[in-house]
């Protein structure tokens, strides 16, 4: 069988490595939105498919046996396209999505349904850690805004923005130093889950800083979901 892994996440890279070790031919697909992505083992393609129809055509031409959507929890467009394309071509689809974060004692979390809503919930010095996409929702903020992303955003930045280009993982010590040094009043992030960027939540808890979290988009109906690489590996084996 041949497996297409829609990737770009640590889980996608781990799954590609595991399937390759199992002798399963894997092609990992990256969106191409990061200038220097961390590449998985095996075959890699970079760039979009041209929507659900383009992905369906790719699956037919490549003779793909199964698809694992291991994209970021907020990559709603490709997740929807994968569901539509696999249904059209009758190819099994699995969603590998890491669990969201869970609040701990001492956390001061406020939930937002969207980036736009999150922008209405903050004031003072804002530490914006939602990635480079969607930064424009915060362009009208009047105060200081620390914007951290792997690559420079293409959307307008707030007038008082300081851009921090960095790739996780980040340590709690460094996050505490950053928030203290910049006088951060509130942190804004997406409920991405995972350990790569969780240190900012621990730092905010230690410093008593509130965190605004943007909820994940809903998944397409009827798509099987697992939360670990091991479970995805077993699903592929069961095909």
Rounded-to-integer distance, Cα 239 and Cα 19, Å: 13
Tell me what pLDDT residue 42 has: 87
pLDDT at 34 over 70: no
Q: Looking at the structure, do residues 94 and 140 belong to the same domain, yes or no?
A: no
Rounded-to-integer distance, Cα 233 and Cα 89, Å: 22
- Please give the residue that has the higher pLDDT: either 47 or 188: 188
Tell me what pLDDT residue 35 has: 64
Q: Looking at the structure, do residues 120 and 200 belong to the same domain, yes or no?
A: yes
Q: Looking at the structure, do residues 59 and 123 belong to the same domain, yes or no?
A: no
3-state secondary structure of 94: strand
Q: Looking at the structure, do residues 38 and 67 belong to the same domain, yes or no?
A: yes
For tokens 């003072």, what's the residue? 124
Write the DSSP symbol of residue 150: S
Q: Looking at the structure, do residues 73 and 93 belong to the same domain, yes or no?
A: yes
**CATH classification of the domain holding 36:** 3.40.50.720
**CATH classification of the domain holding 153:** 3.40.50
pLDDT tens digits, 87-122? 999 999 999 999 999 999 999 999 999 999 999 999
Judge whether 104 lies within some domain: no
- Average model confidence (pLDDT) across the chain: 94
Tell me what pLDDT residue 8 has: 86
Tell me what pLDDT residue 21 has: 95
pLDDT at 146 over 90: yes
pLDDT band at 167 (very low <50, low <70, confident <90, very high): confident
What's the start-to-end Cα distance of the chain, in Å?
A: 9
Q: Looking at the structure, do residues 209 and 230 belong to the same domain, yes or no?
A: no
Picking from 119, 100, 107, the residue whose alpha carbon sits closest to that of residue 225 is 100
Q: Looking at the structure, do residues 182 and 139 belong to the same domain, yes or no?
A: yes
Rounded-to-integer distance, Cα 81 and Cα 93, Å: 11
For the chain, the domain total comes to 2
Judge whether 20 lies within some domain: yes
Rounded-to-integer distance, Cα 102 and Cα 29, Å: 30
Q: Cα–Cα–Cα angle for 177, 181, 183, nearest 5°?
A: 120
- Domain ranges, residue 151: 109-214
């Amino acid at each position: 069988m041949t497996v297409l892994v829609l990737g770009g996440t640590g889980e996608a890279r781990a799954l590609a490595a595991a399937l390759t070790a199992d002798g399963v031919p894997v092609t990992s697909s990256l969106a191409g939105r990061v200038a220097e992505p961390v590449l998985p083992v095996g075959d890699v393609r970079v760039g979009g498919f041209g929507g659900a129809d383009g992905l369906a055509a790719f699956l037919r031409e490549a003779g793909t046996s199964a698809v694992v959507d291991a994209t970021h929890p907020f990559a709603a467009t490709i997740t929807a396209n994968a569901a539509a394309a696999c249904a059209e071509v009758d190819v099994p689809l699995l969603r590998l999505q890491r669990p969201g974060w869970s609040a701990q004692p001492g956390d001061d979390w406020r939930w937002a349904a969207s980036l736009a809503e999150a922008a209405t919930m903050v004031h003072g010095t804002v530490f914006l850690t939602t990635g480079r996409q969607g930064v424009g929702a915060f362009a009208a903020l009047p105060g200081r805004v620390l914007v951290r992303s792997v690559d420079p955003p293409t959307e307008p930045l707030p007038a008082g923005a300081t851009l921090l280009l960095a790739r996780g993982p980040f340590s709690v010590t460094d996050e505490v130093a950053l928030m203290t040094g910049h006088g951060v009043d509130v942190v804004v992030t997406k409920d991405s889950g995972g350990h790569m960027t969780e240190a900012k939540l621990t730092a905010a808890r230690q410093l008593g800083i509130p965190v605004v979290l943007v909820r994940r988009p809903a998944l397409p109906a009827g798509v099987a979901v697992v939360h670990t690489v091991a479970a995805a590996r077993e699903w592929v084996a069961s095909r």
